[in-house]
């Protein structure tokens, strides 16, 4: 397998990481700021010292026994539902950047119009599998209720699966109310219809918003991604094995809470941990050591028989240039080949999660198309080996006129949407455009052709009324 080229851990090495995490959780534990979370642990027999929860190996492994290794993520359009776990992998756009970056690298605050534009691109993409909720942070709506605007937009403008808000307990519960209205409460109670991204407060802590969100999602048995981004040399040890021990400890603690509250809640093991860039003190997300962490995270997820989440087409570049594409191609390839099941930041990410680029989104779609095609499995059979045809054509012949060539020529190979494959004359005939300019034309065409998926007008009206009522309840 590809991930063996990086470093495949032996079972004893995985056990050493596990044992180190268990020691950290037993002796230091995790700090939780939320009183309800602490009461939950205490009521289930965990040692609680002030705001610190101590864990035993048996408590953690017992909790994880109820977590599924694979689950179905339901879409509003059943034909677009997908599976998370096993050999499957799903791609979603970037998550959380505050700025939109234009083709010249200029930053501007994201808006709801930008957000809706991104949802439309996701809906019209053949490679985007689900909506990432916070493609960007819209600055022209109130921050405390922006999650409602974003979830509402994703529900109305797309019928693909969608992630939900995790703005604390209230934001998570309100997200469930929107899901109940659109999908029906009975359906939500027995299906995964949304997903929350949970970030520990590294090192070894959980803010009250995040543990509250875990509990709100787990009560409805809606999936949560427990995902940290620990910087080696700053919020975690500089040596990568030590980094993985603390990465593992934080994730397992959050997953344990989810299973205590809602046994059987799907949990996804995730991390984008990376080295600190020593010259500035910031993160360096596209780095050989970051890719090592990506592989390690996937191996640990398999060790615990859980779905995984890492990487994406990520870059530290601040403009959709050669650096952005080179780093994104490397990180995306390792992410997919390492066995990741759920891939955020597959489209549009710039500047270490600070920037969102529409042009880079289209460029990343080409990379994702490459990876989809590369990871396609071919059946090895007497028919596919084409021995009879090869003997019939013989030495010096051509397969161009063969009937199977004519039959399969339109679907046998990946059809490039963006990269040039013409000779120099053909490239000039098509306008001699650089990638950014070609991407802009694709965006214009996609948005012009966009059609909203069916949603009964009465339901949209009820959804809007509920969103306004929930906004009012924040005041």
Is 236:242 a contact under the CB 8 Å cutoff?
yes
Note whether residue 323 is domain-resident: yes
* Least confident stretch, 100-109, 194-203, 414-423: 414-423
3-state secondary structure 12-42: HHHHHHHHHHHHHHHHCCEEECCHHHHHHHH
Report which DSSP code applies to 208.
Answer: H
- Give the pLDDT score at 4: 63
* CB of 369 closer than 8 Å to CB of 379: no
Tell me whether residue 448 is in a domain: no
Q: Are 345 and 95 in contact (CB under 8 A)?
A: yes
Within-domain flag for 178 = yes
330 part of a folded domain: yes
Q: In the block, which residue shows the tokens 């864990």?
A: 55
Average pLDDT over residues 234-259: 97
Query: 308 pairs with which residues across the strands?
Result: 269
Domain containing residue 309: 64-374
Structure tokens at 375: 């990871």
Question: Is the model's pLDDT at 185 over the cut of 90?
Answer: yes
Work out the pLDDT band at 6, boundaries 50, 70, 90: confident
**pLDDT grade for 453, boundaries at 50, 70 and 90:** very high
CATH code: domain of residue 137 = 3.20.20.480
How many structural domains are present in the chain?
1
φ, ψ at 225 (rounded to 5°): -95, 115
Q: Is residue 296 part of a domain?
A: yes
**The predicted structure's pLDDT at residue 474:** 85
Q: Is residue 30 part of a domain?
A: no
pLDDT at 191 over 80: yes
Q: How far is it, in rounded angstroms, from Cα 53 to Cα 31?
A: 6
Whether residue 214 lies inside any domain: the answer is yes
217-238, pLDDT tens digit by residue?
999 999 999 999 999 999 999 9
**Adjacent-strand bridge partners of 334:** none
How many Cα atoms sit within 13 Å of 458 on the Cβ side? Answer: 0
Task: Say if residue 1's pLDDT is above 60.
Answer: no
In a domain, 41, yes or no: no
Q: CA 454 to CA 94: how far, in whole Å?
A: 26
DSSP SS3 for 223: coil
Cα separation of the two ends of the chain:
54
| DSSP, residue by residue, 103-123 | TT--EEE--HHHHHHHHHHHH
- Rounded to 5°, angle at Cα 300 from 294 and 303: 150
Asked whether residue 186 carries a pLDDT value surpassing 90, the answer given is: yes
DSSP per-residue codes, 355-382 = EE-HHHHHHHHHHHHHHHHHTPPPP-SH
- Mean pLDDT, the chain, whole residue set: 96
């Amino acid at each position: 397998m590809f991930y063996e080229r990086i470093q495949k851990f032996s079972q004893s090495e995985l056990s050493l990481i596990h044992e180190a995490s268990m020691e950290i959780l037993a002796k230091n534990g995790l700090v939780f700021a939320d009183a309800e979370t602490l009461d939950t642990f205490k009521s289930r027999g965990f040692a609680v010292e002030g705001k610190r929860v101590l864990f035993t190996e048996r408590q953690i492994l017992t909790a994880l026994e109820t977590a599924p290794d694979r689950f179905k993520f339901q879409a509003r359009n059943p034909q677009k539902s997908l599976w998370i776990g096993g050999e499957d992998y799903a791609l979603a756009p970037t998550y959380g950047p505050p700025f939109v970056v234009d083709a010249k690298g200029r930053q501007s605050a994201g808006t709801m119009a930008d957000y809706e534009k991104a949802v439309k691109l996701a809906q019209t993409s053949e490679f985007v599998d689900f909506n990432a909720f916070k493609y960007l942070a819209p600055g022209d709506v109130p921050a405390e209720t922006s999650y409602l605007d974003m979830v509402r937009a994703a529900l109305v403008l797309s019928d693909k699966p969608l992630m939900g808000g995790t703005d604390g307990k209230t934001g998570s519960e309100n997200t469930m109310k929107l899901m109940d209205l659109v999908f029906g409460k009975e359906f939500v109670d027995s299906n995964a219809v949304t997903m929350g991204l949970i970030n520990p407060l590294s090192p070894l802590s959980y803010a009250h918003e995040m543990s509250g969100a875990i509990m709100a999602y787990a009560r409805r048995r809606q999936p949560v991604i427990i995902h940290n981004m620990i910087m080696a040399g700053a919020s975690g040890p500089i040596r990568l094995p030590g980094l993985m021990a603390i990465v593992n400890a934080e994730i397992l603690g959050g997953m344990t809470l989810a299973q205590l509250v809602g046994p059987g809640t799907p949990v996804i093991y995730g991390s984008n941990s990376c080295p600190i860039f020593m010259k500035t003190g910031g993160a360096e997300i596209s780095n050989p050591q970051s890719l090592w962490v990506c592989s390690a995270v996937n191996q640990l997820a398999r060790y615990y028989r859980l779905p995984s989440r890492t990487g994406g087409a990520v870059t530290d570049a601040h403009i959709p240039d050669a650096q952005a594409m080179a780093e994104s191609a490397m990180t995306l390839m390792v992410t997919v080949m390492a066995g990741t099941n759920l891939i955020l930041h597959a489209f549009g990410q710039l500047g270490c999660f600070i920037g969102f680029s529409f042009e880079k989104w289209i460029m990343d779609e080409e990379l994702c198309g490459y990876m989809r095609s590369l990871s396609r499995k071919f059946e090895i059979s007497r028919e596919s080996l084409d021995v009879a045809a090869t003997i019939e054509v013989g030495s010096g012949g051509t397969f161009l006129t063969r009937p199977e060539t004519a039959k399969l020529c339109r679907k046998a190979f990946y059809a490039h949407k963006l990269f040039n494959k013409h000779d120099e004359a053909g490239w000039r005939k098509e306008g001699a455009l650089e990638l950014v300019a070609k991407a802009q034309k694709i965006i214009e065409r996609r948005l012009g052709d966009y059609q909203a998926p069916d949603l009964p007008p009465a339901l949209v009206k009820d959804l809007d009324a509920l969103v306004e009522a929930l906004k009012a309840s924040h005041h």
